[in-house]
């Protein structure tokens, strides 16, 4: 090897290192800004939730039902003192109690104050979850993981609480309700089938989700779940074979620049090992937005640094798989 060749290789290596170093600095700085953004967004969520607790206590003061008023005050106190790991459950308890009120009985001023507090929670939570999504999307890049550009910063987590029935968009307008039916499709090894998809306006932020889709007019959730199962996997089943609904989930999400309110009903179906999903029944939209599918083990799902819906799926699934369904439909987030 000649001296010229060695010098050329050394120059190429030096340039590559400079480029890689510069790129690493840019990405590390961007990650730092994203983490700052998630911290600021969480502070806004915390402030909005604290404001809702204050208003909830004011509502409790004028409640003629003393038992309900006492429960609401207690729930508001617990929400304000709950740690981050228990905050979702505590805030959902406040939301459920506020939903029991006849708001027409409140004074116009207090009713307006409560609605404003709830809208602030909705908007702050969405901003926070958008920041978390963007941060996790960058952290998942292979180069970012290999070079450990995130440093020791823990990955941010979504904050999922049920929004008031009849959610609001950013302008305070009512959202359209889209009922949906979903299937937890599980093989003998307790592996769950999930699809990976993208939002057309956010192609760099993929997410995983269960089999299922919208309930059509005049269709029950069970019939919709069986139909969606056939369309998305090719598997034809008697709707009666679906166990459940084991879960009910209320959420508001944005897809293709459209805000949608959804009420999802989850069913369970166990299948034989080796089922290869037939996706030939996909709609045009699904063909454009679904990237792939795979079977996930419970341990894999719990350890994965990917976005999965519902976001607490790995935490909730073991209870569903542990034994016979008890006939209760549990509300999940």
Give me the pLDDT at residue 172, please. 44
Q: How many CB atoms lie within 10 A of CB 21?
A: 10
178-to-94, 194, 215 alpha-carbon distances in Å:
25, 21, 7
Q: 135-139, 155-159, 173-177, 297-301: which range is least confident on average?
A: 173-177
End-to-end CA gap in the chain: 64
Block residue for tokens 């999903």: 277
**Residue 175 reports pLDDT greater than 60:** no
Residue of 185 and 119 predicted with greater confidence:
185
Share above pLDDT 90 across residues of the chain, in percent, rounded to a whole number: 15
> Has domain 177-332 been given CATH number 3.90.79.10?
yes
260-to-136, 174, 214, 243, 263 alpha-carbon distances in Å:
23, 10, 12, 27, 10
What is the rounded distance in angstroms from the CA atom of residue 283 to the CA atom of residue 231?
8
Structure tokens at 97: 């109690």
From the list 197, 180, 178, 193, the residue with the least C-alpha distance to 288 is 197
Q: Which residues have C-beta within 8 Å of that of residue 39, sequence separation ≥ 6?
A: none
Query: Quick one: average pLDDT of 36-58?
Result: 86
**For 59-74, what is each residue's pLDDT tens digit?**
888 877 788 888 888 8
What is the rounded distance in angstroms from the CA atom of residue 201 to the CA atom of residue 259?
13
What is the rounded distance in angstroms from the CA atom of residue 109 to the CA atom of residue 118?
14
Give SS3 for 99: helix
Block residue for tokens 């919208």: 214
CB 248 within 8 A of CB 266: yes
**Residue 174 reports pLDDT greater than 50:** no
**For 244-260, what is each residue's pLDDT tens digit?**
899 988 777 777 767 77
**For 184-203, what is each residue's pLDDT tens digit?**
999 988 999 999 998 888 88
**Residue 232 reports pLDDT greater than 60:** yes
Residues of the chain with CATH 1.20.1440: 3-146
pTM above 0.75, yes or no: no
What is the rounded distance in angstroms from the CA atom of residue 301 to the CA atom of residue 56?
37
Give me the pLDDT at residue 169, please. 47
Structure tokens at 287: 């063909």
Q: Which residues have C-beta within 8 Å of that of residue 75, sequence separation ≥ 6?
A: 56, 90, 93, 94, 97
Q: Which CATH architecture has domain 3-146?
A: Up-down Bundle (1.20)
Residues of the chain with CATH 3.90.79.10: 177-332
Strand partners, 332: 249
From the list 237, 244, 238, 225, the residue with the least C-alpha distance to 324 is 244
Structure tokens at 262: 């959804």
What is the rounded distance in angstroms from the CA atom of residue 185 to the CA atom of residue 16?
47
Residue 281: phi and psi, rounded to 5, are -90, 5
Give me the pLDDT at residue 233, please. 92
């Amino acid at each position: 090897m000649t001296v010229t060749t060695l010098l050329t290789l050394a120059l190429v290596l030096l340039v590559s290192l400079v480029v890689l170093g510069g790129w690493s600095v840019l990405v590390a700085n961007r990650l730092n800004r994203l983490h700052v953004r998630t911290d600021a967004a969480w502070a806004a969520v915390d402030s909005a939730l604290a404001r809702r607790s204050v208003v909830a206590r004011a509502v409790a003061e004028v409640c003629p039902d003393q038992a309900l008023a006492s429960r609401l005050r207690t729930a508001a106190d617990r929400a304000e003192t709950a740690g981050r790991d228990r905050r979702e459950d505590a805030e959902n308890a406040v939301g459920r109690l506020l939903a029991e009120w006849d708001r027409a009985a409140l004074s116009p001023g207090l009713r307006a104050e409560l609605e404003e507090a709830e809208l602030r929670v909705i908007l702050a939570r969405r901003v926070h979850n958008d920041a978390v999504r963007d941060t996790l999307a960058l952290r998942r890049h292979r180069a970012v993981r290999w070079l450990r550009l995130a440093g020791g910063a823990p990955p941010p987590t979504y904050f999922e609480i049920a929004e008031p029935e009849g959610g609001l968009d950013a302008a305070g307008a009512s959202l359209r309700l889209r009922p949906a039916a979903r299937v937890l499709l599980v093989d003998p090894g307790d592996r769950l089938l999930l699809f990976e998809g993208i939002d057309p306006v956010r192609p760099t932020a993929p997410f995983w989700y269960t089999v299922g889709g919208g309930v059509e007019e005049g269709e029950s959730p069970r019939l919709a779940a069986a139909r969606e199962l056939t369309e998305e996997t090719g598997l034809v089943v008697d709707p009666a074979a679906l166990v459940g609904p084991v879960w009910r989930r209320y959420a508001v999400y944005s897809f293709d620049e459209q805000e949608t309110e959804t009420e999802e009903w989850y069913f369970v179906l166990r299948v034989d090992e080796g089922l290869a999903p037939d996706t030939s029944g996909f709609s045009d939209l699904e063909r454009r937005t679904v990237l792939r599918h795979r079977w996930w083990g419970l341990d894999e799902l719990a350890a994965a640094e990917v976005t999965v819906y519902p976001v607490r799926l790995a935490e909730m699934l073991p209870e569903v798989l542990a034994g016979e369904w008890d006939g209760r439909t549990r509300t999940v987030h």
